Structure 1
Amino acid sequence: MTHVKKIIEAGLPLSQAKKALILLHGRGGSAEDILTLREHLPVNDFYIVAPQATNNSWYPLSFLAPIQQNEPWFSSALAYVKSIVEDIQAAGIPAEHIYIGGFSQGACLTLEFATRNAQRWGGVFALTGGLIGDKIYPEHYQGDFAGTKVFIANSQNDPHVPITRSEDSKKLMEKMGAQVNVKVYHDRPHTIVMDELQETGKILVG
């Protein structure tokens, strides 16, 4: 099975905005849930879009499973995000003014999409995330981030995303030209804390 495209929009109309933000929800979450982040972010002049994953999940297994085991959902999720980027670009907003971020499963998908399509993005943020796969496969990624700022948050003991994967993701992305800040929170549950949103705000204002 594959994802059926269903999006929720907020902020400025796409035809009027000069910047865009794509928000990707976590497993079991929803587009409505992740859109509430905008209340805590400096995005008054953004077009904001949140896609809804079919069955509330971008792919069925852990992000640490072999990629083939998460197909065809995984490839469908990447294509889904790409279609949204293309819609935004068709409206006249270039990649360097497109920001992509998400939480948990959505954070992993954010990093995976941005790195497989490395270029000068407006900014990238992953609230508890890392690149996807049983290990990191450098051959899956191409392009040059050209200085794109990336924020990755995690906890020392997150039950779903090992901090080592976040750190290894940083190393690969930096080799591809990104400026990556990994911030580790002590004893933080699998959630989003206000400090993460403040760090994300720094990405969104350039």
Structure 2
Amino acid sequence: MYTHQKKVITQGQPLTETRKALVMVHGRGATAESILSLANNLPVADFTLFAPQATNHSWYPYSFMAPAAHNQPALDSALAVLDEVIKKIQEQGIRSEQIYLLGFSQGACLASEYATRHAQPYGGLLLFTGGLIGQQLDNTNYQGNFNNTPVLITTGDPDPHVPVSRVNETERIMEEMGAAVTKKIYKGRPHTILPQEINLARQIFTKGTIFE
């Protein structure tokens, strides 16, 4: 088991100029650089981008559906990395409404888990093929109120890593905590991000919501 070294790649203009942050969380086996490339397809030229890098290219060793204890201490360390990134952004006077979180696969699971443990009115959550972490979800972990934060959560049906049932559970919990969730389940979709998903994500940046 392992804990994470603190390594974050920043891209774009300084936060003091943009006043808007997009935190991008890569998936298992991937890199901060790879998730940053996704920004080329999003209207975020006026954002400062932050992409933490997981030690060993994995945020936690086992499936996100495994008992949470099996993924420790890596999971708590990964959540602490995200917490440090968010807090450093906020220390520069950036309101939570100007902070967006995006993740793919394992990164989407980590982003959803962090955001729901620290629910507040974010600019948006873009959760491409992910959901809350644990064999059984423990509602006592989740605190705060999303206050109409727009959330996009997706998966394939079936997906080899993220079952539809967990996406549905995640949607329910986030909605109970005040999020405005758009859920998309794509029949037969491979473990990837479709252009349709990118188009929905773009709406969160440009319109603050999703019009289908």
Residue in 2 aligned with 1:16?
Answer: 17
Give the number of aligned pairs: 206
- 2:90 maps to which residue? 89
Q: Distance in 1 between matches of 2:64 and 2:204?
A: 25
CA deviation map 1:135-191 (0-9, x unaligned):
211111011111101000111100000011001100011000000111011211001
Q: How does 1:125-136 map to 2 (within 5 A)?
A: 125-136=126-137
* Aligned-residue offset at 1:11: 1.7
1:30 aligns to what? 31
Quote the residue 1:153 is aligned against: 154
Aligned mates of 2:123, 2:15 — CA distance in 1: 16
**CA–CA distance in structure 2, aligned partners of residues 9 and 193 of structure 1:** 25
**Alignment correspondent of 1:45:** 46
What is the rounded CA distance, in whole Å, between the counterparts of 1:195 and 1:79 in structure 2?
32
Quote how far apart the aligned CAs of 1:192 are: 1.0
Tell me the C-alpha RMSD between the 2 structures: 0.8
- What is the TM-score with the length of structure 1 in the denominator? 0.98
3-state DSSP class of the match of 1:16?
Answer: helix
Distance in 2 (alpha carbons) for counterparts of 1:93 and 1:204? 16
Question: How far 1:195 sits from its partner (Å)?
Answer: 1.0
Equivalent residue for 2:73? Answer: 72
Q: Which amino acid aligns with 1:147?
A: N
Provide the TM-score with structure 2 as the length reference: 0.95
SS at match of 2:16: coil
Identity of aligned residues (%): 50
Partner of 2:104: 103
Is the partner of 1:159 in helix, strand or coil?
coil
Give unpaired runs (5+ residues) of structure 1.
none
The 5 Å alignment of 1:122-201 reads 122-201=123-202
User: Matched residues in 2 for 1:137 and 1:111: separation?
Assistant: 14
Cα distance in 1 for partners of 2:46, 2:53 equals 23
> Secondary structure of the equivalent of 1:180?
strand
CA distance in 1, matches of 2:95, 2:52: 19
**Could you tell me how far apart the structure 1 residues matched to 2:200 and 2:135 are?**
29
Which shows bigger deviation, 150-159 or 195-204? 195-204
Amino acid at match of 2:75: F
CA distance in 2, matches of 1:22, 1:198: 19
In 1, Cα distance between the equivalents of 2:54 and 2:62? 14
C-alpha distance in 1, partners of 2:136/2:182?
Answer: 21
Where has structure 1 moved over 3 Å in runs of 4 or more?
none
Q: Give ranges in structure 2 of 5+ residues lacking alignment.
A: none
Structure-1 separation of matches of 2:204 and 2:25: 16
Q: For residue 15 of structure 1, report the CA deviation from its aligned partner.
A: 2.1
In 2, Cα distance between equivalents of 1:204 and 1:7: 23
SS for the counterpart of 2:119 is coil
CA distance in 2, matches of 1:179, 1:190: 25
